[in-house]
Amino acid sequence: MINQQKYPSILLENVVEEFSKLPGIGKKTALRFALYLLKNELIESENLGNAILKFRTEVNHCQICHNVCDDTVCEICNSNKRDNSIVCVVENVADVMAIENTQQFKGLYHVLGGVISPMNGVSPTDLEIASLVSRVAGGGIKEVILALSPDMEGDTTCLYIYKKLAQFNIDISTIARGVSVGDSLEYADEITLGRSIVNRVKYSYEL
Amino acid sequence: MINQQKYPSILLENVVEEFSKLPGIGKKTALRFALYLLKNELIESENLGNAILKFRTEVNHCQICHNVCDDTVCEICNSNKRDNSIVCVVENVADVMAIENTQQFKGLYHVLGGVISPMNGVSPTDLEIASLVSRVAGGGIKEVILALSPDMEGDTTCLYIYKKLAQFNIDISTIARGVSVGDSLEYADEITLGRSIVNRVKYSYEL
């Protein structure tokens, strides 16, 4: 049994225990992290430990889009170069960063902080959905793009938000699902290939 | 370029930067760690941050075997149930734990803290080799087992230690290399299979 693993030091056992709570990290990798810290200078460990403590206690969330930021309002919401009539709804900050990296979107974001998941005890009130509705109700928004993961929880969340926003006179869209650029049709899964046929777009040699 | 990745918060960027210094962790995994901390309670981050700081500043090394421990001498060196005439030389604490798990060794250890590696700037004086020599010179040790990794650096370190200990009247052995229990010969690499033939042992139906 893995619990019977005996550590020569309680301090080592504690740090391995804490590292192994991180997603995807088991006891062996956690032990490697601890040995890495031990081999390197004290300052490395201090930087890591303090960065974790500082991040969790001091980081803010943008009052408008709820993305993490250092001020009360984030750079994107504050920018006058963005189209504030389009709002892209995403699960978390990693999704914002991924979409920003494409440089294809110049609107604003709304970060839900998760997706509806009864299995994990996440209900709509745990997410930034009410704030999205009041943001849309405030006026000025013409389109909401739902950019959530294409799984059951993402789809449930999309439907829930769609119903909440149906009362407003705005466009509601989702990001296109289809065969990835560079992928061969042969290896695409059936659902993706099916969706990409149903949602086919007019041929244009500009694309 | 990965350096051009833009983070919405400097605190987030710092914690991702620090996490990604851990072995085998890239920026994407580091970001997942940060998001995990953000989603969970503050106490989780505090526990992790403090465990790291406490581990690195307060952990001791055993005065005899140089394994990590909480006292001045570790439990293994302190035990009166161990055979203190046999010393197993290993690279680090993870190796001690792996050998202890086998329950096949009842001697003591000597933790070098690394292996000789000119490429990484690790010379014999950076390791606990001098302390091993004086431990053997102190008397009472009949056998030293060299249990280092079977690669160039491990072999170099073995040879270096062997030369240092050759002056003493003790047995010096290395752990057996061979085909793993359960492995089929067909898939064993040539060097391993070769060594296991050269170092064959007398057949016994007790094994």
d(CA B82, CA B96): 14
Percent of chain A with pLDDT over 90: 66
ipTM: 0.82
Pair of tokens at residue B147: 């249990």
pLDDT average, residue stretch A34-38 = 92
Q: How far is A22 from chain B (nearest CA, A)?
A: 6
> Which residues lie closer than 8 Å to A81 by C-beta, 6 or more apart?
A106
Asked if A95 and A150 touch (Cβ cutoff 8 Å), the reply is no
d(CA A128, CA A118): 16
Residue B117 pLDDT > 70:
yes
Residues of A in contact with B74 (CB under 8 A): 8
A55, A96, A126: best to mutate for the B interface, most B CBs within 10 A: A55
Residues of B in contact with A19 (CB under 8 A): 48
Mind listing the pLDDT tens digit for each residue in A143-155?
A: 999 999 888 899 9
Q: What residue in A sits closest to B42 (Cα-Cα)?
A: A56
Question: Of B34, B94, B101, which has the smallest distance from its Cβ to A31's Cβ?
Answer: B94
Q: Which residues pair with B100 in a beta bridge?
A: none
Q: What residue in B sits closest to A23 (Cα-Cα)?
A: B33
Residue B29, chain A, CB below 8 Å: the answer is: yes
Residues of B in contact with A100 (CB under 8 A): 6
In the prediction, which pLDDT does B163 show? 93
The fold for domain B83-175 equals: Dna Topoisomerase Vi A Subunit; Chain: A, domain 2 (3.40.1360)
What are the C-alpha distances in Å from B143 to residues A7, A54, B84, B140, B161? 25, 50, 10, 9, 13
By the 10 Å C-beta count (0-12 exposed, 13-18 middle, 19+ buried), A195 is classed as middle
Q: What residue in A sits closest to B55 (Cα-Cα)?
A: A11
φ, ψ dihedrals at B45, nearest 5°: -65, -40
Residue A207 pLDDT > 70:
no
Q: Is B144 helix (H, G, I), strand (E, B) or coil?
A: strand
Mind listing the pLDDT tens digit for each residue in B148-171?
A: 988 889 999 999 999 999 999 999
Q: What residue in B sits closest to A100 (Cα-Cα)?
A: B6
Quick one: pLDDT band at residue B3, thresholds 50, 70, 90? very low
A76/B19 CB distance under 8 A? no
Residues of B in contact with A9 (CB under 8 A): 59-60, 68-70
**What mean pLDDT is reported for chain B?**
89
Residue B7, chain A, CB below 8 Å: the answer is: yes
A54/B11 CB distance under 8 A? yes
- What residue ranges do the domains of chain A occupy? 2-58, 84-175
Residue B134 pLDDT > 50:
yes
Question: Of A8, A23, A53, which has the smallest distance from its Cβ to B75's Cβ?
Answer: A8
d(CA B151, CA B147): 12
Percent of chain B with pLDDT over 90: 65
* Neighbouring C-beta atoms of residue B45, cutoff 10 Å: 22
B46/A53 CB distance under 8 A? yes
pLDDT average, residue stretch B124-136 = 94
φ, ψ dihedrals at B195, nearest 5°: -65, -35
Asked if B96 and B109 touch (Cβ cutoff 8 Å), the reply is yes
Q: For A66, which DSSP code?
A: -
pLDDT average, residue stretch A123-127 = 93
Pair of tokens at residue B126: 């950076």
Q: In chain B, helix, strand, coil percent, each to 5?
A: 45, 10, 40
Quote the pTM value: 0.80
Q: How far is A200 from chain B (nearest CA, A)?
A: 32
Instruction: Quote the CATH superfamily of domain A2-58.
Output: RecR Domain 1 (1.10.8.420)
What are the C-alpha distances in Å from A125 to residues A93, A121, B5, B150, B161? 19, 11, 32, 56, 64
Question: Of B14, B55, B100, which has the smallest distance from its Cβ to A12's Cβ?
Answer: B55
Residues of B in contact with A47 (CB under 8 A): 18
A97/B7 CB distance under 8 A? yes
Q: Which CATH number fits domain A84-175: 1.10.10.10, 3.40.1360.10, 1.10.20.60, 3.40.718.10?
A: 3.40.1360.10
pLDDT average, residue stretch A142-167 = 91
Residue B37, chain A, CB below 8 Å: the answer is: yes
